[in-house]
Amino acid sequence: PRARAPLRGAPADTAHGRGPRRGAGRPRARPRPPIGRARAAARHCGPRADRRRRSRAMSGSPVKRPRMDSALDQLKQFTTVVADTGDFNAIDEYQPQDATTNPSLILAAAQMPAYQELVEEAMAYGRTLGGSQEEQIKNAIDKLFVLFGAEILKKIPGRVSTEVDARLSFDRAAMVARARRLIELYQEAGVSKDRILIKLSSTWEGIQAGKELEEQHGIHCNMTLLFSFAQAVACAEAGVTLISPFVGRILDWHVANTGKKSYEPLEDPGVQSVTKIYNYYKKFGYKTIVMGASFRNTGEIKALAGCDFLTISPKLLGELLKDTSKLAPALSAKAGACCCLRGGASGGAGPRAGRGSLAPLPPAQASDLEKIHLDEKAFRWLHNEDQMAVEKLSDGIRKFAADAVKLERMLTVSEGVRPGRLRASGQGRGAPRFSSAPPQERMFSAENGK
């Protein structure tokens, strides 16, 4: 219908029959004074606030929720996280501080097609230095370890650990010489020795080699294959930079040699071993860094949260990254700063894993450990008393030595290959084999275990 004309004398707001505007003709109200913090807070509480929140929820408005930090992010708040891998392309996602390698990890990475250029570069380096076949192999392997380490250092802000041949584990002088050679190769590549940790087996000879390298050459050492308390005490007295007590391999031995097949994280004998070592070091003021290693599940890692360093495989780093459960430090040097997962932890080996709760633990300073001193005779006796440690140290040396042999076979010297004429045939697990050439020149071919 046609709109009616506004009444004569009526205000404009009454046009088209809308009637006078609410409040028209009255003086404008003064603006409200700013409310205090207490009143502002009250507006977000009480029944009215609840009704507003329910109304927003029913209307489909997005509700902001705080982002949950992953277990890996939480762990980094009180422990330095180290990546345990030779596959440097897998490091970026987890952003570790440091990285560790060993012959087994380098062997696995060297067989990946992505790293064949490094393998060929190491082979060419060994050939260039010349000498006997054995010398060329040794030089090529040292160069390969350094090439992997240098690439890893491009992706981390801290240090990388490079291991001395495990077959030298009972030769102090040979370990010192090999370690110095590795440092020379790193320096030739433009890497400072302060960014390198030389890994040595924690035999008596290895520990003394570490002491000499630290004191006389300023080379930082990482003592590996550490299973006994005697090894830890001797390393502390030698003043090495870092130790790597193994967790998972200790668990493996107990599962294989006792009637118990599963353990809660805090009952895990590997976790208990590292906890004892950590408490001993902190109680008596040793500066050597404790870095737990060789984990079988994330429950072990969580039970050692607060340890100086933890070196973790990419697989378990990935699990921690997806885990958003609450994590608190389990180890502490100071009183009142420690809480721990009791009765299980997510990722644990036991049947009740995942049902843990937080409870306080005594700090390292409150432990009842007594300080001891070990000379060579005392060390050998105390270590020998630990059957697990004796067997696992021996087994670890043999396994690393076996992988070193496999790596050598990948780089076996063959007669009759012309330098610069490398031609991969695609045989083996990604490792190159090469075509023949005049016999007066030598170079490396990958025999890949044959």
**Active site (catalytic) residues:** 199
Distances (CA, A) of 113 to 58, 147, 208, 419: 55, 16, 39, 21
* Assigned token pair, 322: 């997806």
* Assigned token pair, 354: 């995942």
Count of residues for the chain? 450
What's the CA gap between 399 and 109, in Å, rounded? 17
What's the CA gap between 129 and 33, in Å, rounded? 85
Residues 6+ apart with CB under 8 A from 305: 74, 75, 78, 79, 327, 328, 329, 330, 331
CB 226 within 8 A of CB 192: no
What's the CA gap between 284 and 391, in Å, rounded? 29
* Assigned token pair, 13: 């707001």
Q: How far is CA 102 from the centre of its chain?
A: 14
